[in-house]
Chains A and B, each alone.
Chain A
C-alpha cells in the first residue's frame, strides 16, 4: 500500500464562468477504519483563493499550516492579498523545496484572478507531491482520483454559472465516492464567486 492511500479522500475542483468550485469528502480514516466524519480538507487563503489537500492526514495538517504561514507573511510584506495564480506557483515551489523529504500531499488550488472591469479568470491547479503543477478545466485528487477523472469529463461543461457548477462538482464527487470505500461519509462543496464563498454540506451515503 502506498502512503498516499493510508488516509482516504476525494477531492475535486472545477472552473466555471467567473466562478470556481472545490469540493472534498469529510472522512478521516486509517485505511478501512473510520476515525472521524468531520475532517476539514479545504482551506481558505483569502476571499479569492481556496486550496484542498489530499493525501497523508498528518501532512495535510502540517502543510496547510505552512501554507497559511507563507500567505500570511506574503500579506504582511507586500501589503496585499496573494493572487490565486501567484499562490499556485508558491505551492509548487514550496513543495519542491522538500524534494528529498516531501510532504505526502496532493494539493488542489481553486481561485479567481481579478482581470479588471468586473471580469475574473478562474484558476485551477493540481500537483504531484513534489510540486509539478498541472492546470486544466478541472482537477482531481485523493484515493478517488481515478474515478473522479471519468465522471468529471462527462459532467464538465464550458462557462457554467455558480449553480450549474455546484451541481456538476457535487454529482462528480458523489459518483466517485460511491466507487471508493476509503472516501465519503459526508462532503463539503465550496463555490467561489467574485462576491461570496458559498459553502454547502451535501448529503452522502453513510456506509
Chain B
C-alpha cells in the first residue's frame, strides 16, 4: 500500500488518515468551551480523572502570557508541548518588539507548528485542539487551532465529546453584545448539558480575560464555586 512508507500520506480518496484520527482524538477528549463577550473572553474545561487523582495538582486552563490564556481538548501531554512552544513564541516576540503578541499571530504560529506535523517525516499530528483567549489591539479574541493546522476566530465554540450538543446550545444562547459575566454563566450552562456526574469546583476549570485589566486569569476554586451557585 502507498501509505506504508509514511504516516502522513494521502489516500486515493484525498484524505490524510492521521489527521482525521487526530481530530477523532480531540472529539474523544473532555469538553472545553470558549465564549467571546463584548468586554472579554471566557474559556472553560472539564477535568475528568479518577477520584484518586489529586485535582489540584494540575491545571487544564493555563496562561501563555499575561494577556493570553488557553485550554484544549484531546491528549494532555501533547497540550504541554504545544503550550511550551506558545510561551516561547510570546517571549521571543516581546523581546523583539517590547509589545504584546496579538492572539491572531500566536494562533497563526501554533497553526504553522500543527501543520508542519501533518507533513514532516517521522512525526505524527498533535492530538489536541487548542482554544486561545486573549485581548489585543483588536479587542477580545477567541481562536481555535486544530491538529490539521486550520485556525479560526470564534464568537463561541465547543470541543470534545459533547461538542455537537454544546455547539447547538451555544448557537441558541449566543448574542453579539454579551457581557463577560453573562458569558461565564452561559459557559457553565453549556458545560452542564451532558456533564457526567455532578459539576463542582474541582472537576471544572475556568479562565477569563476582560478588557478592563487585560490580564488572563484562571479562576480560583472559590470563584468557580460562587459562579456555580449563581448558575443554579
- Whether A86 contacts B99 by the Cβ 8 Å rule is yes
| B138 nearest CB neighbor, chain A only | A80
B97 within 8 A of A: yes
| A79 nearest CB neighbor, chain B only | B104
* Total residues of chain B contacting the partner, CB 8 A: 10
Tell me how far the C-beta of A48 lies from the nearest C-beta in chain B, rounded to whole angstroms.
14
| Listed A/B pairs (21) with beta-carbon separation below 8 Å | A77-B105, A77-B108, A78-B102, A78-B104, A78-B105, A79-B104, A80-B137, A83-B99, A85-B99, A86-B97, A86-B98, A86-B99, A89-B96, A89-B97, A89-B98, A89-B99, A90-B96, A90-B97, A93-B95, A93-B96, A93-B97
Task: Give complex CA distance A89, B98 in Å.
Answer: 6
Q: Which 3 A-B pairs have the closest CB atoms?
A: A89-B98, A93-B96, A86-B99
Number of A-B contacts (CB under 8 A): 21
Interface residues on A, range: 10 to 19
- Kindly list chain B residues whose C-beta atoms are within 8 Å of the C-beta of A78: 102, 104-105
Tell me how far the C-beta of B88 lies from the nearest C-beta in chain A, rounded to whole angstroms.
17
B98-119: contact bitstring with A at CB < 8 Å (1 yes, 0 no)?
1100101100100000000000
Task: Give complex CA distance A80, B102 in Å.
Answer: 11
Tell me how far the C-beta of B105 lies from the nearest C-beta in chain A, rounded to whole angstroms.
6
Task: Give complex CA distance A83, B99 in Å.
Answer: 10
Task: Give complex CA distance A90, B96 in Å.
Answer: 6
Tell me how far the C-beta of B48 lies from the nearest C-beta in chain A, rounded to whole angstroms.
38
Tell me how far the C-beta of B214 lies from the nearest C-beta in chain A, rounded to whole angstroms.
15
- Kindly list chain A residues whose C-beta atoms are within 8 Å of the C-beta of B137: 80
| B109 nearest CB neighbor, chain A only | A77
Known contacts A78-B105, A86-B97; 12 additional CB pairs below 8 A are: A77-B108, A78-B104, A79-B104, A86-B98, A86-B99, A89-B96, A89-B97, A89-B98, A89-B99, A90-B96, A90-B97, A93-B95
Task: Give complex CA distance A79, B108 in Å.
Answer: 12
Task: Give complex CA distance A7, B116 in Å.
Answer: 48
| B98 nearest CB neighbor, chain A only | A89
- Kindly list chain B residues whose C-beta atoms are within 8 Å of the C-beta of A85: 99
| B137 nearest CB neighbor, chain A only | A80
